[in-house]
Amino acid sequence: MSNKNHITFATANLLNFVAPPGAYYDFENIYSLDDWQDKLTWTKSQFDQLNPDIIGLQEVFSIEETQTFFAEIGYQYFACVDTPHIEGDYIYSRPVVAVASRFPIESFEAVTFDRDTLINAFGDIDAPPFSRKPVRATIIHPIIGHICVYVTHLKSQRPADSETPEQASRPIARWLSTQQRGWEAAILRDAMQKHYANNPMPTLLMGDMNQAITKTSVNNVLVEQYGDRVTDLQLCDGWELQVAPSLESRPATHYHFAKGNVLDYILLSQEFDAHADVSIAEVTNYQVLDTHLINPSFERDKNASDHAFVALTVEIKL
């Protein structure tokens, strides 16, 4: 357990976390018992280095095995609100997100949005459901009390699936994925704003955003400022909230061939901003575990994730 005056949050895309005899996406993709144990060992080694208190997880297939694994390494509290798609009893697709915590989880639920309110305000808009349901967990910390933790895995940049692939337009398929990701980001931020208005508390959003958050990206809605800086939820990239940055440049968290991108984020509310009027904590450390991406060893990393695990530490100032 870390110092109670510090809290470390981490986000981790586990990559195809499915226990044998389950398979991911195709019947040939089944870990041997040795490979599964190796994947667990590798995953544990990452968290041993980061020493997080609260973890946002993506790409979970085997929910019970994941909960058991995290309990064994010190995270006895676990929350998940969705189930993957399972075909033929063992072929898994559509992975889910989860939260693992050292601190008690008081309550948790899937993030939803008020479709009727959307229609009343903007007319008959066909907003799609989340491709993966985000989870909202209320966690109790011994000093600051309630913390609201969201975990998401936004729609990927892969072109949308089509029932007739041979006739599908790739530009339109790509745009449909972008549109889905934009809807998910907007609906999630709207739900967070409304929940914070009724239940103001330190809040964070962790996950794989599947696109860098920039001024021109559709997921920039997650960090845009809305309303009053004190009473309305404001979210900021945790990287930008560091009081004394330890890294000169921001490491990529995922590579597409040789091109690195930042896809994995921890976004924090104004309570974690050292310069905010309502600040109760400040970001003192930021870690990106990327050795397996930039200098991999086959023996060590053969069952690694294809994402870096990201963590930040806040120091409580109460």
- For residue 51, what are the β-bridge partners? none
Report the pLDDT value the prediction gives residue 89, as an integer from 0 to 100: 87
Neighbouring CB atoms inside 10 A of 128's CB total 12
Q: How far apart are CA 161 and CA 168, in angstroms?
A: 9
Record the tokens describing residue 56, joined without a space: 């946002």
Buried b / exposed e over 53-77, threshold 16 CB at 10 Å, is bbbbbbbbbbbebbbebbeeeebeb
How many CA within 13 A on the CB side of residue 11?
26
Record the tokens describing residue 206, joined without a space: 């962790």
Q: How far apart are CA 202 and CA 204, in angstroms?
A: 7
Tell me the one-letter amino acid at 154. L
Report the pLDDT value the prediction gives residue 168, as an integer from 0 to 100: 54
Question: Who wins on pLDDT, 35 or 129?
Answer: 35
- For residue 148, what are the β-bridge partners? 138, 203
Confidence of residue 167 (pLDDT cuts 50, 70, 90): low
Question: In this structure, are residues 155 and 187 in contact, taking their beta carbons and an 8 Å threshold?
Answer: no
Tell me the one-letter amino acid at 292. H
Residues in the chain: 318
Residue 95, CA distances (Å) to 13, 15, 288 in order: 11, 9, 23
What pLDDT, in 10s, does the model give residues 6-17? Answer: 999 999 999 999
Query: Computed over its alpha carbons, how large is the radius of gyration of the chain?
Result: 19
Q: How far apart are CA 277 and CA 286, in angstroms?
A: 23
Name the maximum alpha-carbon separation found in the chain: 60
**Nearest CA to 241 among 209, 205, 207, 266?**
266
What pLDDT, in 10s, does the model give residues 92-125? Answer: 999 999 999 999 999 999 998 777 777 777 777 7
Q: How far apart are CA 267 and CA 120, in angstroms?
A: 30
What pLDDT, in 10s, does the model give residues 70-90? Answer: 999 999 999 999 999 999 989
* Domains in the chain: ranges and CATH: 6-316 (3.60.10.10)
Q: How far apart are CA 315 and CA 281, in angstroms?
A: 5
Report the pLDDT value the prediction gives residue 224, as an integer from 0 to 100: 96
What is the residue-wise DSSP string for 255-267?
EETTEEE--EEEE
Q: In the predicted model, is pLDDT for residue 166 greater than 80?
A: no
Give every strand in the sheet of 85-87, ordered side by side. Answer: 23-24, 91-93, 85-87
Q: What average pLDDT does range 218-234 have in this prediction?
A: 94
- State percent of the chain over pLDDT 90: 81
